[in-house]
Amino acid sequence: MDLEPGKTVPAVPVPLDAELQVAYDAYLAEEPDLAPMSLEKLSVIRAEADAAVAVLEDLSHGGRFTVFQPSVPGLDGAPEIPLLVCTPSGAPASRPALYFIHGGGFYGSDHRTGLDQILETAERFGATLISVGYRLAPEHPYPAQINDAYAGLLWVADHADELGIDSERIVVTGFSAGGTLSAALALTVRDKGGPRLLGQLLIAPLLDDRNDSASALQMDDVELFDRSRNGFAWSSLLGDVQGGADVPQYAAPARATDLAGLPPTFLDVGSAECLRDEILAYADRIWQAGGEAELHVWPGGIHGFDRKAPEARISKAAVAARRNWLEHLLATN
């Protein structure tokens, strides 16, 4: 994408947190494939995701969770949508639910993998975790992903009694592209109807397909998920309309002209990632619209730092902040 006239690349990138730098250097020492994302690489990424699913021997995590895997109707005759429903053993009746949308750049990953952190959170709060699968780009461009997430949520609300959850206490959450779809889902429910969401917990979400903020330029080629890979994710979802005038808000939430009426929102991002400024701007616009948002910018954090280096001080602080926000939300609603 060409830069707007007058935009320049900031001269100096933000330094990484010291512990994260060590972890990132160790990762680079393994000589990973750092070539730009391409359609040709998708098959490799998806094969790795399939391999991760294949070795999932116990989705109950040793009996800690009761597991239910329904396939539910898609929106307007679309294919069925897979859900993974995990309820902590001994959880109370009419409990809260975490509706989780997986990341993966809109084109990869799976709703059954990468759940350790969110499962631990669900267990801590006696909440049912519902992880939704969705059709992947670029074979299935927008609006397939948000339609699938929306259809899954509508089914969950309609079957709340069967699932043992309180349909008034659903929090939507996701990381990266999952955060994008979570934010888009909150806008969709506000505008098109559905269960009242108790909150949205957005972890490093991609929000703006224009990909031209100061941080996108400043942090380009500094870490693995940079401006180039962010752009590939958006082009996979939107194709040739990416960056144009007609991108809908349900694809790129930063395109929304009105952010009033959204549920309480948690956003976080690292100061050293390309998404920083669009996330700051989104929080600011929620406040300007009279909404409630809690924003954390983690010094020296890169995209997904808590997954790359879970034992780092900054990672533990980020996970604790998310859980503190959720604890307060559930305690006061």
pLDDT band at 1 (very low <50, low <70, confident <90, very high): very low
C-alpha pair distances (Å), 185 with each of 13, 38, 68, 320 = 33, 27, 23, 25
C-alpha pair distances (Å), 307 with each of 50, 190, 316, 329 = 19, 31, 10, 24
Mean pLDDT, all residues of the chain: 93
Top-confidence residue, 27 or 50: 27
Q: What is the pLDDT of residue 331?
A: 97
Q: Percent of the chain, pLDDT > 90?
A: 82
Q: What is the pLDDT of residue 225?
A: 92
**Distance between CA atoms of 124 and 116, rounded to whole angstroms?**
12
Q: What is the pLDDT of residue 9?
A: 66
Q: What is the pLDDT of residue 4?
A: 57
Summarize the confidence of residues 93-116 as an average pLDDT.
94
Q: Pick the closest to residue 292 from 200, 207, 220, 219 (CA basis).
A: 200
Summarize the confidence of residues 235-240 as an average pLDDT.
97
Of 116-130, 208-222, 311-325, the range with the lowest mean pLDDT is: 208-222
Of 29-38, 74-83, 285-294, the range with the lowest mean pLDDT is: 29-38
**Distance between CA atoms of 224 and 229, rounded to whole angstroms?**
8
DSSP secondary structure, 44-75, as one string: HHHHHHHHHHHT---TTTTTTEEEE--EEPPG
Tens-digit pLDDT profile for residues 177-231 = 999 999 999 999 999 999 999 999 999 999 999 999 999 999 888 888 999 999 9
Domain ranges of the chain: 18-331
pLDDT band at 113 (very low <50, low <70, confident <90, very high): confident
What topology is assigned to 18-331 in CATH? Rossmann fold (3.40.50)
Tens-digit pLDDT profile for residues 55-101 = 566 788 888 999 999 999 999 999 999 999 999 999 999 999 999 99
Top-confidence residue, 53 or 139: 139
User: Looking at the whole model, is its pTM more than 0.85?
Assistant: yes
pLDDT band at 11 (very low <50, low <70, confident <90, very high): low
Q: H or E segment at 99? A: strand 95-101
